Structure 1
Amino acid sequence: MTKSELHKEAQPLSDSSFTTPLPGSNYTAWSSMSILVKKGLVSRYGNPARFSLTKDGEKMAHDLLIVGIKDHVLTSGDSNSVAQTCKTHNSAVASSLRETSNSNTLSSSVTSPSKEMAFLIERQSSQLSVLSSKSDIETSPSYSSKLINSSENSVDNTANKDCRRKAKNKLSPMPLKKPKPIIEPTTINVQKTGYNAESDETVIFTPGSFEVILLVDTQETSGSSKGLQNDPTFSELTNFQIKFEVRHLKVGDFVWVCRNHDTNMEIVLPYIIERKRMDDLSKSIKDGRFHEQKFRLKQCGVQNLIYLVESHGNNQHTGLPLATLQQAIVNTQVVDGFMVKQTSNHRESMSYLATLTRLLSNSFNDKTLVSCLKQDIPPFNITDDLVSLITFTEFSKLSGKTRNYKVKEMFVKHLLQLRGLSVEKALAIVEKYDTPQTLLQAYEKGDGEKLLAGISHGSLNRLLGPVISKAVHQLYTSSVLT
């Protein structure tokens, strides 16, 4: 089941909310999922993430079910209602299993343990029926008379006692290990350890419990703490009286975070800016950083990407023709899907950052922020009162240059080295041929240079065309590149 499906099904059975934390706490019922995964009771797999019980988890669930049923019978004595409840629950599980078996999203390895769980519930239901029959017999008026005449049928009476003893033993729960107490982290502990992005622990910021801070990459300043006072970026942002910090960012030049007042945990807002002066834009196009940086920005988990282009004097001495730079800017907006903002000088750029910081602070102060993994982030809507975002820890992890790339991601980076291949075009190729080996196998079957010409890309569904198709074919099939 997915996270949202578990929320829907488990909420009626839980005393705590899966989305809203208790007063004075940043944790919800879902926060316990990370403990279940660590203990090997729940397995997490797939993208988007899906969860299922392991064999140990099913055993634990079965034991808890038996304990709960026995306690209810001992306290209320109403075994009939419990048996009926188990039968009803069994029917619901069987119905759920039928739906699961018809779904293509789960494998047989997942449905099999669920069938075992249904069998355990069915067996428990039948055991309760035995207990119910036993209870009815013992409370009936005829039962006393049978006890008076029991000496006449001592053999049968002994057999009945053995049967009742065996039925009682079947209902005895298996011994459970005493669970370790779960200690809620204090503010001091949280500040020391921070948020673990590898876990499924959900952290929630309630309205008013955080502040919005602009993070400035060290490359945008002089880089020395002693020289910051004379740095133009530091001075301008200070004059605009906004909250900002200079920090090393693995991708992007400016990003906003929400920092919790009590725990100092940070959640990244869905806006990031890459700033380029016209001469720097020219250099990045020449050395290949232009496409590589845009690719990494698209992988960082932040949905709204802003490309801030700043003029350099009269833009006459930039290293490339002005028309070439303008075309690159247009491609960034139309093809790559970035929002482009052009400014005339450095002060105007800093004014834009200050204005955007105030707007984001006013827009998010009344919202509830929920941390989640990149693959679980829903489409962002500024009107939503509940917003799911990634933490700064995971943002840094996803943005690092030295992280372990998948074959598909490395294939995209490889294709981007070809002239004329944008991120959108490379992604379109990889979407159909996810590895170089798959592409080479397709070349062996035929079509050759025209194989990729008919692939569409971008929002306008334009074709790659014969020129790019030929260039990619030569890259992977020719021993000598021209």
Structure 2
Amino acid sequence: MSASEPVRLGRKRNLPSCPNPLFLAWLTELRDQAREKGLKIQFTYQKAINSLNKYPLPLQNAKEAKILQNFGDGICKILDERLQRYRRENGPDSLPEVLPPPGRPDNNSLAPPRKKNATGDQGKEGGGGGKKKKKKKGREYVPQKRSGGHAVLLTLYRQSQIAGSKGYMFKMELQAEAQLLCDKSFTVPDLGSKYTAWSSVSTLIHKNFIIKTHNPARYSLTEEGVALAERLESVEEDTEDGPEGDGEEARSEEEECGAGLVDLTASDDEEEEDGTPPAERPACVAQQRSEGDGTGLSGKPQNSRATSRKPNAGCLLPGAYEVILCVDFIETTGGSNHHKDELAKELQRNGVKFDVRKLNVGDFLWVAREKVAPVPGQLRAPTGRELVLDYIIERKRMDDLCGSIIDGRFREQKFRLKRCGLRRPCYLVEECGSAASHLSLPETTLQQAIVNTQVVDGFFVKRVQDVRESAAYLTVMTRYLIKLYQNCTLVCRSRELEGDGGSDEEEEEEEERGTPSCSLISFAEFNHGAVKNKCQTVTEVFARQLMQVSGLSGDKAAAILEQYSTPHSLLTAYERCASETQKEKLLSSIRHGTLKRNLGPALSRTVYQLYCTQGALS
């Protein structure tokens, strides 16, 4: 009798039993057979087992399982055949929820720990360890305190509670805000691991707590995510409001840290098979690590430490960053001449700290890189944040200028430089002396293009004689920017946010008074936004179409777009015109540029013919 009592107690613990143990046993058998033969389909069966275990309702046949993930036609067909055979042997009224006959004890023992399909034979052998795991697997998903999932849920929830919130966050701003609530880095993995705190977002998406939409990606909470985040937020508020000196509450916080806020939904091995990151360390371990700083295990000191970092969130204080020149890798590699190697050697000789990387627009720019101390136990120091200063340079040799004018790249490059988000674009023109006389275009045409770039397009143009003078100019600019920004507190802004920062006029007035703009874009966002072949809006494609018309510059195209942002709106305006003459003069009175000149009847007629002529243009 004493030996049977633990079995009865164990059965009482199996309250959340699997509603489809028959299908579960068959899938486990198929997985084990594939594992013995070394077939990769074993992982497909394992994923189907995981999906079936999460489904809370009984299935009448295998066709109903098609709504679950990883259940294809092949798996459903196998299960249906076994189900028909089972019903022939056990009667037509047998249902899948009937427990399988105890003829295969090894199948049950090989089932995942969270499955509740143990028979009586297994209960005798299964040991208390298996039952403990089943008890843990029955608990719902709750991320650990100060883990990546915990920080992301709280950040999205708090942002959604702000009045006028847009209801979603972009990746970079979400990482920046959530980092304050997390002990693990969102960008740099720990030593010996390939996972960061951001890896937990895939788990949140898989469990339907977070939804990811659009490109660039937007992250927002689902209804289940809001409910879980509200619970986490209430726990945070209770921790902050609780008295510090109460020993019983301090112990309850320790128990909550060790058990209440731990992900108990899956084991480490099972998570690795699914491709999701393993469980992060409990928050209490991080709190114990901070005892040397005077903080204990209670939540109050930890939260006070987090709030002390909040004023500097997203900011780089003076002395906490260094100004570095970024050089496009095209400027230092490739080509048939030695000028590119000479540029890097000249910069090194002048003592300029520079970094060669891929720039999607421009050839040179400067970033303020955060100084990050190496972490003990890690091979590489964590990557500091990088904010792009408002100065970008496009370098042009005379032969390159000639080629870019012929193939149309010159106008496109100027358009992209104006749209890159940096307020101080510059052209660095290298005179190649006698080489200009052997080019495809006359030298007067090239000189006129340079003057138009400065006078009409509004770019600052710096002329130098050779690559050594180019390196000297970059050296002087680097030292100037180091001195200009040495006492500035830099704030990260996002081009994706509505109403971000002050107006351009206010920032230009500040810079005219000698105060540089301290609201800067992160390098990752800048370089991603400058991709040449990224997805474009209808308005951007319309602007590119208009700029293909001879004589229609970027300023003129922008003036047209202010009134007609899409081809549809322009064609609708043409349809409203009463006569052909009125259609041809529709755009003639549109003003453009700083002098506010009219577009003119000639260009207006050309655009009308382009969009309204039936058949081929003559």
TM range (shorter): 0.5 to 0.7
Is 1:450 matched up with 2:585? yes
Q: Which residue of 1 aligns with 2:358?
A: 248
Is 1:417 matched up with 2:548? yes
Greater Cα offset, 366-375 or 206-215: 366-375
Partner residue of 2:605 out of 470, 477, 480? 470
Is 1:303 matched up with 2:413? no
1:284 Cα offset (Å): 0.8
Q: Which residue of 1 aligns with 2:459?
A: 338
- Equivalent residues of 1:209, 1:261 under 8 A apart: yes
Deviations 1:33-88 (A, max 9, x none): x99xx999999x9xxxxxx99998799889989x989x99x9xxxxxxxxxxxxxx
1:466 Cα offset (Å): 1.5
Distance 1:371 1:283, change over 3 A: same
Give the distance between the partners of 1:367 and 1:41, measured in 2 at CA: 40
Q: Which residue of 1 aligns with 2:411?
A: 291
Distance 1:339 1:58, change over 3 A: farther
1:265 Cα offset (Å): 2.1
Q: Which residue of 2 aligns with 1:348?
A: 469
Deviations 1:191-233 (A, max 9, x none): xxxxxxxxxx962211111111111112222339xx9998121
Q: Which residue of 2 aligns with 1:435?
A: 566
Is 1:389 matched up with 2:389? no
Q: Which residue of 2 aligns with 1:135?
A: none
Deviations 1:223-247 (A, max 9, x none): 39xx999812112212222111222
Q: Which residue of 1 aligns with 2:327?
A: 216
1:470 Cα offset (Å): 1.8
Give the distance between the partners of 1:472 and 1:233, measured in 2 at CA: 45
Distance 1:333 1:31, change over 3 A: farther
1:359 Cα offset (Å): 0.3
Greater Cα offset, 402-411 or 306-315: 306-315
Deviations 1:11-32 (A, max 9, x none): xxxxxxxxxxxxxxx9779967
1:398 Cα offset (Å): 0.6
Is 1:360 matched up with 2:481? yes
Q: Percent identity?
A: 44
AA in 2 matched with 1:273: I
Q: Which residue of 1 aligns with 2:538?
A: 407
Secondary structure of 1:374's aligned partner: coil
1:255 Cα offset (Å): 0.9
Structure with higher RCO (Cα < 8 A, 6+ apart): 1
Q: Which residue of 1 aligns with 2:368?
A: 258
- Equivalent residues of 2:339, 2:467 under 8 A apart: no
AA in 2 matched with 1:211: E
Is 1:271 matched up with 2:375? no
Q: Which residue of 1 aligns with 2:275?
A: none
- Equivalent residues of 2:315, 2:491 under 8 A apart: yes
AA in 2 matched with 1:264: G
Provide runs of 4+ in structure 1 moved above 3 Å: 26-32, 38-43, 52-65, 177-184, 227-230, 377-386
1:412 Cα offset (Å): 1.0
Figure out how many residues of one structure are paired with residues of the other and give that number: 342
Secondary structure of 2:437's aligned partner: coil
Distance 1:337 1:31, change over 3 A: farther
1:299 Cα offset (Å): 2.0
- Equivalent residues of 1:42, 1:57 under 8 A apart: no
Distance 1:457 1:62, change over 3 A: farther
Give the distance between the partners of 1:53 and 1:331, measured in 2 at CA: 50
- Equivalent residues of 1:42, 1:53 under 8 A apart: yes
AA in 1 matched with 2:617: L
Q: Which residue of 2 aligns with 1:233?
A: 343
Give the distance between the partners of 1:469 and 1:58, measured in 2 at CA: 57
Q: Which residue of 2 aligns with 1:203?
A: 314
AA in 2 matched with 1:460: L
Give the distance between the partners of 2:391 and 2:178, measured in 1 at CA: 29
For structure 1, the residue ranges without an aligned partner over 5 or more in a row are 1-5, 11-25, 46-51, 75-176, 187-200
Give the distance between the partners of 2:599 and 2:443, measured in 1 at CA: 26
AA in 2 matched with 1:213: I
Deviations 1:228-283 (A, max 9, x none): 99812112212222111222211101111111120422111111011111221121
Secondary structure of 2:396's aligned partner: strand
Give the distance between the partners of 2:539 and 2:555, measured in 1 at CA: 14
Give the distance between the partners of 2:415 and 2:331, measured in 1 at CA: 20
Distance 1:466 1:229, change over 3 A: closer
AA in 2 matched with 1:481: L
- Equivalent residues of 2:390, 2:517 under 8 A apart: no
Is 1:481 matched up with 2:617? yes
Q: TM-score, normalised by structure 1?
A: 0.59
Distance 1:276 1:203, change over 3 A: same
Distance 1:396 1:27, change over 3 A: closer
- Equivalent residues of 2:484, 2:516 under 8 A apart: no
Give the distance between the partners of 2:488 and 2:546, measured in 1 at CA: 41
Give the distance between the partners of 1:272 and 1:41, measured in 2 at CA: 41
1:287 Cα offset (Å): 0.5
AA in 2 matched with 1:299: R
Distance 1:345 1:385, change over 3 A: closer
Q: TM-score, normalised by structure 2?
A: 0.47
Secondary structure of 1:250's aligned partner: coil
Greater Cα offset, 380-389 or 353-362: 380-389
Give the distance between the partners of 1:480 and 1:339, measured in 2 at CA: 41
Deviations 1:443-465 (A, max 9, x none): 22222221111111112111111
- Equivalent residues of 2:326, 2:356 under 8 A apart: yes
Q: Which residue of 2 aligns with 1:116?
A: none
- Equivalent residues of 1:279, 1:317 under 8 A apart: no
Q: Which residue of 2 aligns with 1:146?
A: none
Deviations 1:313-371 (A, max 9, x none): 14323322233223322322233221111222222222111110110111112211121
Give the distance between the partners of 2:177 and 2:515, measured in 1 at CA: 20
Give the distance between the partners of 1:457 and 1:30, measured in 2 at CA: 45
- Equivalent residues of 1:30, 1:202 under 8 A apart: no
Distance 1:223 1:449, change over 3 A: same
Give the distance between the partners of 2:451 and 2:472, measured in 1 at CA: 23
AA in 1 matched with 2:584: E
Greater Cα offset, 307-316 or 251-260: 307-316
